[in-house]
């Protein structure tokens, strides 16, 4: 029985988001705004189908995919680079590999107690985010 990430989650900590954004080539002005945000994630998990809606007062990003099936990701409103993404289970962790121009790009979600954790990776940068249920 896999973990269920479904729910509405509010960001409570965001370690090295700046380094991650620099690695993605996000410009200074956008980074200044982005690092002030407290994004919310709305996750819907239905069998192998997942949607992750990251919303903020500045921009929103919607991702829908089937676990184990590669898909094209456009990262629209983020760095706008297209990549081939694949999300799979690693035990109770949900691991996404984003193949494209940027090396070592991807993310991992897991639950720890009542919290949702997210590690965002790009090149040599790792951003660590923690969310609590809204
Ligand atoms: C770009 C980098 C901030 C910063 C500029 C815009 C959307 C896993 C995965 C599902 C992500 C979130 C990536 C955030 C990268 C920001 C706008 C912030 C709000 O989440 O949950 O897509 O990759």
Give the model confidence (pLDDT) of 15-65 as tens digits: 999 999 999 999 999 999 999 999 999 999 999 999 999 999 999 999 999
Which residue CA neighbors atom 22 of ligand 1 most closely?
A: 63
Predicted ipTM? 0.95
Tens digits of per-residue pLDDT, 120-132?
999 999 999 999 9
- Distance from residue 51's CA to the centre of ligand 1 (Å): 14
The alpha carbon of 30 and the centre of ligand 1 are apart by a number of angstroms equal to 12
On whether the CB atoms of residues 109 and 5 are closer than 8 A, the answer is: yes
Question: To the nearest 10°, the Cα dihedral for 28, 29, 35, 37?
Answer: -160
Give the pLDDT confidence of 80-121 residue by residue, as tens digits.
999 999 999 999 999 999 999 999 999 999 999 999 999 999
Compute, in angstroms, the gap from residue 101 CA to the centroid of ligand 1: 17
Mutate to test the pocket of ligand 1, among 80, 120, 121 (most ligand atoms within 8 A of CB): 120
Record the pTM.
0.97
Rounded CA-CA distance 133/122 in Å is 26
**What is the number of the ligand 1 atom nearest to the C-alpha of 120?**
23
Model pLDDT, residue 1 = 61
């Amino acid at each position: 029985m896999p973990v269920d990430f479904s729910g509405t989650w509010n960001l409570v900590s965001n370690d090295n988001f700046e380094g991650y954004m620099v690695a993605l080539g996000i410009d200074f002005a956008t980074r200044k705004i982005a690092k002030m945000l407290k994004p919310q994630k709305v996750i819907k998990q239905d069998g192998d189908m997942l949607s992750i809606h990251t919303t903020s007062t500045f921009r929103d990003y919607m991702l829908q995919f089937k676990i184990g099936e590669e898909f094209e990701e456009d990262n629209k409103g983020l760095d706008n680079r297209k990549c081939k993404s694949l999300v799979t289970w690693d035990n109770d962790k949900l691991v996404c590999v984003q193949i494209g121009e940027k090396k070592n790009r991807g993310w991992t979600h897991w639950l720890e107690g009542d919290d949702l954790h997210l590690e965002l990776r790009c090149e040599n940068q790792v951003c660590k985010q923690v969310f609590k249920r809204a």
